[in-house]
Chain A
Amino acid sequence: MADEFVIVKDLVKSFKDFKAVDGVSFSIFKGEVFGLLGPNGAGKTTTIRMLSTVLEADSGDITIGGHSVKKDAAAVRSIIGVCPQELALYDDLSALDNMVFFGHMAGMDSKTAYTQAMKNLELMGLEDRAKGKISKYSGGMKRRINLAIALMGNPQLLFLDEPTVGIDPQSRNNIFENIQSLQKQGLTVLYTTHYMEEADKLCQRIAIMDGGKIIAMDTPHNLKKQIGNPDKVTLEDVS
């Protein structure tokens, strides 16, 4: 399809004898929020790590924005932004310093990085805390900065790996609103979570992963039709 922005084919990754990702295939359309849903250890994070060029796949192909991850990782890195599951911040630096630094890493000059950082901080509702040290931030504020950093460099594809783990409702709502607003601006998002409710709210399509495999993939509406009440869903229902 012409508007497939991410194409993943038969992706396999093993760590010694453990097959973390086992023949995963899916595609994400441009401007879509695509959810990877599954329990801990399902292989969601490993999949994101391969897509974001951190890990090499044992086999399979990944193409992002027309660039092969295997052959042209540098081009892929220039169009992606990653918000990792674990906070990846410099606690001793201010939010602004963190963002400007990652802006530099995304190829921005100092002036552009500063302007973009202030814009992203405003987006997250943290502009008045720009110069505060990250170590003084609450967990929810750190999560928002974690996301704001992923947006430095104006990526075309954003990986959000369980971005709402362990945060307060206010910060969660802020993150949801921002994702929806960014999607309206044309951003493509790969969102992993183990909350069906989150995936239902944000994603146009969802792939459910377990044991390194995709066991179901459809729109939230169709998936709910298949499995009934999402609050009572079990993996057996969808596999």
Chain B
Amino acid sequence: MKRALFITLNEVKLYLQDKGDLAFGLLLPILTLALMFGAFGSDTLFKSTANIVNEDNGAYSQQLIQKINDVDGISVSLISADDANAKLDKSDILIALFIPSGFSDNLTAGQPAQLTFKQRGNGGQEGQILASIIRGVAGDINQQFTVLNGVKTALAGKGIADSNIQIVVQSVLAEQSQQPAIDVKEEITGGSSQFINQYLPGIITMYVLFSLSLSAMTIVEERRRGTLERLLTTRLSINELFFGKYLATIARGFIQTLILLLLSYAVFQMFTPLSFLACLVVSIVFTAAAAAIGMIIASVSRTQSAANWIAIVVTMFMVMIGGTFFAVSEGSALATIGKFSLNTYANKAYGVIIAQNGSLGDAWPQLAVMAGVAVVGLIISRLIFRAVPGSK
């Protein structure tokens, strides 16, 4: 057993010496997470810049701009009319909001005021969403004026000062916005609404599957180097060699997953300590299962390229049918084939813990299948393994 651990340590040492391998194994998860953060780092899914030409510069136009700027995901860029027209001509922007001069004066005087959207074609999908949001903001302001003017007209001649009416109306509207007559509630099915929670399981499973390739290569590489035969003349038993290599692969796969999980924890604050530990357990079981399949490939492969190609085909097969890139509908033919992919079980186990806030107990069927694959895979690979053709 001690010698198996020395094999593992040696393998880890070799891994740390190979800069290319190290960069691939450790930096790639960091890079992936940085990309995920760029894509999903904020709760707001829609992000856009509102290009506004303010030809008014009055109090109400400032108020409107401020309210647009306060909308989550929208930032305001103030540009001149000439600039806006030039950019629209060159399609640098697809839509711009023009606030005409006299906008605030008209509103102050109780007269209707107008906003203008200038756009290329239909303004593009983003432009249409932006215009719709700005219409909503303008509609809110419009409602305030309608109510205020209505109340002022109703109370005209009652000796109540306009300023007092304005204070009361604004207070009522503020109260109403806190407790609206019609409240819209968001009900989320399938756990957290955060996109990162939906995608992280697939990303983790992809990285763990790399350990399948790693374990497929480890013994072939030892054979190519000539060190396998040399090891067989030492006190090291084949079982120790096998177990040491297996542990080394699990260790490498686990380190990669740990980096991903730690970064996800730190950057997205997406775990509780308990769910983090649960994910680590799933990762170890999944890596053990993937590494066991890798050991089978290592046992049947005589050359490096054979091991490489078999590992690639098996990995791609598992990724494609295991629901890593796209959801697989229950009851479909793909779902049935997907039962032969480790990813199916790993995705589900991670999903239960990350996206549905479940516990290890909730993921036990998937964990049991993966643990079974690890044990059976290891036994099969050991039975078919021959260090040297015609040998023990």
Neighbouring A residues of B236 by C-beta, 8 Å? 105
CA distance A86 to B227 in the complex (A): 10
Which candidate, A89-97, A172-180, A209-217, is the interface stretch facing chain B? A89-97
> Within the complex, what minimum Cβ distance (angstroms) separates A71 from chain B?
13
Is there an interface contact between A93 and B229, defined as CB atoms closer than 8 Å? Answer: no
Identify 4 new A-B residue pairs, CB closer than 8 A, beyond the known A54-B232, A153-B234. Answer: A52-B233, A56-B390, A78-B235, A101-B10
Which candidate, B12-20, B42-50, B357-365, is the interface stretch facing chain A? B12-20
Is there an interface contact between B225 and A102, defined as CB atoms closer than 8 Å? Answer: no
**What 0/1 readout, one digit per residue, does chain B (282-316) give for beta carbons within 8 Å of chain A?**
00000000000000000000000000000000000
Sample (7) of A-B pairs whose CB atoms are under 8 Å apart = A49-B229, A77-B235, A82-B230, A89-B226, A92-B17, A105-B3, A105-B235
Is there an interface contact between B3 and A87, defined as CB atoms closer than 8 Å? Answer: no
Q: Tell me how many residue pairs across A and B have CB atoms closer than 8 Å.
A: 78
**What 0/1 readout, one digit per residue, does chain A (56-82) give for beta carbons within 8 Å of chain B?**
100000000000000001100110111
Is there an interface contact between B230 and A97, defined as CB atoms closer than 8 Å? Answer: no
Tell which of A90, A149, A159 touches B10, judged by Cβ atoms closer than 8 Å: A90
Q: Assess whether B23 is interfacial by the CB under 8 Å rule.
A: no
Tell which of A88, A107, A153 touches B230, judged by Cβ atoms closer than 8 Å: A88
Is there an interface contact between A54 and B235, defined as CB atoms closer than 8 Å? Answer: no
Tell which of B17, B18, B225 touches A88, judged by Cβ atoms closer than 8 Å: B225
Is there an interface contact between A54 and B226, defined as CB atoms closer than 8 Å? Answer: no
Instruction: Mark out the residues of chain B between 182 and 240 whose CB falls within 8 Å of any chain A CB in the assembled complex.
Output: 225-227, 229-237
Is there an interface contact between A74 and B235, defined as CB atoms closer than 8 Å? Answer: yes
CA distance A126 to B18 in the complex (A): 24
Q: Assess whether A53 is interfacial by the CB under 8 Å rule.
A: yes
Q: Assess whether A104 is interfacial by the CB under 8 Å rule.
A: yes
Is there an interface contact between A90 and B235, defined as CB atoms closer than 8 Å? Answer: no
> Within the complex, what minimum Cβ distance (angstroms) separates B232 from chain A?
5
CA distance A81 to B230 in the complex (A): 9
> Within the complex, what minimum Cβ distance (angstroms) separates B392 from chain A?
6
> Within the complex, what minimum Cβ distance (angstroms) separates A83 from chain B?
9
Size range of the chain B interface in the assembly: 20 to 34
Neighbouring A residues of B237 by C-beta, 8 Å? 74
Is there an interface contact between B390 and A106, defined as CB atoms closer than 8 Å? Answer: no
Is there an interface contact between B234 and A106, defined as CB atoms closer than 8 Å? Answer: yes
Neighbouring B residues of A149 by C-beta, 8 Å? 230
Is there an interface contact between B229 and A54, defined as CB atoms closer than 8 Å? Answer: yes
Q: Assess whether B31 is interfacial by the CB under 8 Å rule.
A: no
Q: Assess whether B40 is interfacial by the CB under 8 Å rule.
A: no
> Within the complex, what minimum Cβ distance (angstroms) separates A75 from chain B?
10
Is there an interface contact between A80 and B233, defined as CB atoms closer than 8 Å? Answer: yes
> Within the complex, what minimum Cβ distance (angstroms) separates A156 from chain B?
14
**What 0/1 readout, one digit per residue, does chain A (151-195) give for beta carbons within 8 Å of chain B?**
001000001000000000000000000000000000000000000
CA distance A51 to B229 in the complex (A): 13
Neighbouring B residues of A55 by C-beta, 8 Å? 388, 390-391
Tell which of A54, A81, A88, A93 touches B14, judged by Cβ atoms closer than 8 Å: A93
The 3 closest A-B pairs by CB, nearest first: A88-B226, A105-B234, A88-B230
Tell which of A73, A93, A101 touches B6, judged by Cβ atoms closer than 8 Å: A101
Q: Assess whether A84 is interfacial by the CB under 8 Å rule.
A: yes
Question: Which chain A residue lies CB-closest to B390?
Answer: A55
> Within the complex, what minimum Cβ distance (angstroms) separates A212 from chain B?
15
